[in-house]
């Protein structure tokens, strides 16, 4: 099935501008339609129902929120003429949980294109591409800020580990590769169980020129992939995205997160969801509760007259942590 209907997340950041331009380049090649979406939360750092928040403070928050959204919209409209899509480009605004809006919205499109996340993004318009890839059911292309080479897919690098995510990533990338495109299959370490010969035959039968490059385990996987892309400058890195629980990220590290943070070319993330074990769920719950307890302690410590409700909540959170630790 050809790529004909693209969704791009636009929040006004430099990375989202790069993502919009990338989407426009791909759309013009394929005769596709692009919908740009400004997904944002209500930017409420404090519950609106809290009676102790002055009306003046509420008004300032709402004004700041409106100005940010207006600025994002203005930036989009300034970019629109140069994109050259005419009626094949739409723009809309949605309010809710940003990752959820993008994940659910992407299900009605062939692909979601987003800018890489940065710490400077405003909190109520920021998104998490790796989470969206796991939740959306659609492939996600992440474009770093400053990328301006367009959607040229003559050379893709495929990070292959023989797993389901890598297989799905390969399938998604075949829709993007140009007729004379080539793929560099990258593996790390000796993996006798991986049928590389079968993979190369599969690519050949799709008319794709492919080469296999294996790297020894002398450096972390993420560093190996980043170094390869820096040296050979492929137009796309195809990377299997697994649903690593926070437990696994704490102890094993996150290849996907490190690559997305440092890479200078677009990255395609496929769909792959792995359920957490009960032990991992307990670990995540305990970690989150410990974080909440630390915040409660900090809040209580700054109060001259301690709020009894906070003290009760602190006691209940501590009991829950002890129960999960038993």
State the maximum Cα–Cα separation within the chain, in Å, rounded to a whole number. Answer: 73
Of the candidates 252, 250, 217, 254, the residue with the CA atom closest to the CA atom of residue 239? 254
Most confident of 9-13, 148-152, 205-209: 9-13
Q: Could you give the residue ranges of the DSSP H alpha helices within 253-325?
A: 255-262, 278-301, 308-325
pLDDT of residue 121: 72
Residues 76, 121: one domain?
yes
- In this predicted model, which residue has the larger pLDDT, 63 or 67? 67
pLDDT category of residue 243 using cuts at 50, 70 and 90 = very low
- In this predicted model, which residue has the larger pLDDT, 282 or 192? 282
Residues 129, 179: one domain?
no
What is the spatial distance between Cα 196 and Cα 188, in angstroms, rounded to a whole number?
Answer: 12
What is the spatial distance between Cα 132 and Cα 290, in angstroms, rounded to a whole number?
Answer: 26
Residues 88, 185: one domain?
no
Query: What is the mean pLDDT of the segment spanning 113-126?
Result: 81
Is 261 domain-assigned?
yes
Range of the domain at 133: 5-143
72-93: b (≥16 Cβ within 10 Å) or e: beebbeebbeebebeebbebee
Element (H, E) at 111: strand 111-115
Range of lowest pLDDT (38-47, 85-94, 111-120): 38-47
pLDDT of residue 13: 93
pTM of the model as a whole? 0.76
pLDDT category of residue 178 using cuts at 50, 70 and 90 = low
pLDDT at residue 70 tops 70: yes
pLDDT category of residue 286 using cuts at 50, 70 and 90 = confident
Residues 252, 227: one domain?
yes
pLDDT tens profile 245-275: 443 444 334 788 889 889 999 999 876 555 4
Q: Could you give the residue ranges of the DSSP H alpha helices within 31-85?
A: 55-83
Is 186 domain-assigned?
yes
pLDDT at residue 287 tops 80: no
Is 191 domain-assigned?
yes
Q: How many residues does the chain have?
A: 326
Of the candidates 39, 10, 38, the residue with the CA atom closest to the CA atom of residue 24? 10
Task: Please give the mean pLDDT across all residues of the chain.
Answer: 82
Is 43 domain-assigned?
yes
- In this predicted model, which residue has the larger pLDDT, 192 or 112? 112
- In this predicted model, which residue has the larger pLDDT, 111 or 64? 111
Residues 172, 223: one domain?
yes
Residues 80, 188: one domain?
no
Residues 30, 9: one domain?
yes
Residues 252, 296: one domain?
no
pLDDT of residue 62: 72
Is 150 domain-assigned?
no
Residues 109, 23: one domain?
yes
CATH code of 168's domain:
3.40.50.620
pLDDT at residue 326 tops 70: no
What is the spatial distance between Cα 270 and Cα 80, in angstroms, rounded to a whole number?
Answer: 29
Is 106 domain-assigned?
yes
Residues 116, 24: one domain?
yes
pLDDT tens profile 293-312: 887 787 776 666 667 777 88
CB contact at 8 A, 42 and 97: no
pLDDT tens profile 199-231: 999 998 888 899 999 988 877 888 999 999 999
Is 25 domain-assigned?
yes
Domain tally, the chain: 3
Is 148 domain-assigned?
no
pLDDT at residue 12 tops 80: yes
Percent of the chain scoring above 70 in pLDDT: 82
Question: Which of residues 222, 251, 269 is at a domain's end?
Answer: 269
Residues 67, 139: one domain?
yes
Angle between helices 129-136 and 255-262 (to 10 degrees): 130
Residues 91, 208: one domain?
no
């Amino acid at each position: 099935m050809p790529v004909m209907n693209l969704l791009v997340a636009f929040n006004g950041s430099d990375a989202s501008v790069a993502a919009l331009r990338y989407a426009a380049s791909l759309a013009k090649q394929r005769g596709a339609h692009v919908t740009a979406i400004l997904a944002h939360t209500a930017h409420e750092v404090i519950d609106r129902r809290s009676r102790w928040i002055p009306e003046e403070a509420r008004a300032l928050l709402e004004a700041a929120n409106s100005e940010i959204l207006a600025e994002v919209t203005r930036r989009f409209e300034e970019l629109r003429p140069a994109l050259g899509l005419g009626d094949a480009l739409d723009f809309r605004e949605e309010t809710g949980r940003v990752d959820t809006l993008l994940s659910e919205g992407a299900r009605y499109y062939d692909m979601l294109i987003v800018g890489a996340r940065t710490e400077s993004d405003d909190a109520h318009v920021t998104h998490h591409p790796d989470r969206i890839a796991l939740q959306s059911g659609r492939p996600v292309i992440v474009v770093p800020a400053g990328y301006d080479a367009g959607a040229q897919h003559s050379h893709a690098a495929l990070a292959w580990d023989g797993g389901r995510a890598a297989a799905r990533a390969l399938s998604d990338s075949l829709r993007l590769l140009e007729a004379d495109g080539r793929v560099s299959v990258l593996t790390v370490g000796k993996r006798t169980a991986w049928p590389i010969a079968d993979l190369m035959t599969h690519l050949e039968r799709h008319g794709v020129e492919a080469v296999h490059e294996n790297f020894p385990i002398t450096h972390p996987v993420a560093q190996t992939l980043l170094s390869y892309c820096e040296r050979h400058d492929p137009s796309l890195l195809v990377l299997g995205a697994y649903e690593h629980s926070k437990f696994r990220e704490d102890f094993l590290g996150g290849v996907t997160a490190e690559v997305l943070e440092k890479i200078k070319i677009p990255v395609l993330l496929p769909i792959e969801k792995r359920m957490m074990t009960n032990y991992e769920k307990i670990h995540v719950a305990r970690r989150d509760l410990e974080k909440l307890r630390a915040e409660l302690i900090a809040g209580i410590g700054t109060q001259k007259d301690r709020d009894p409700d906070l003290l009760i909540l602190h006691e209940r959170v501590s009991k829950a942590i002890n129960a999960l630790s038993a």
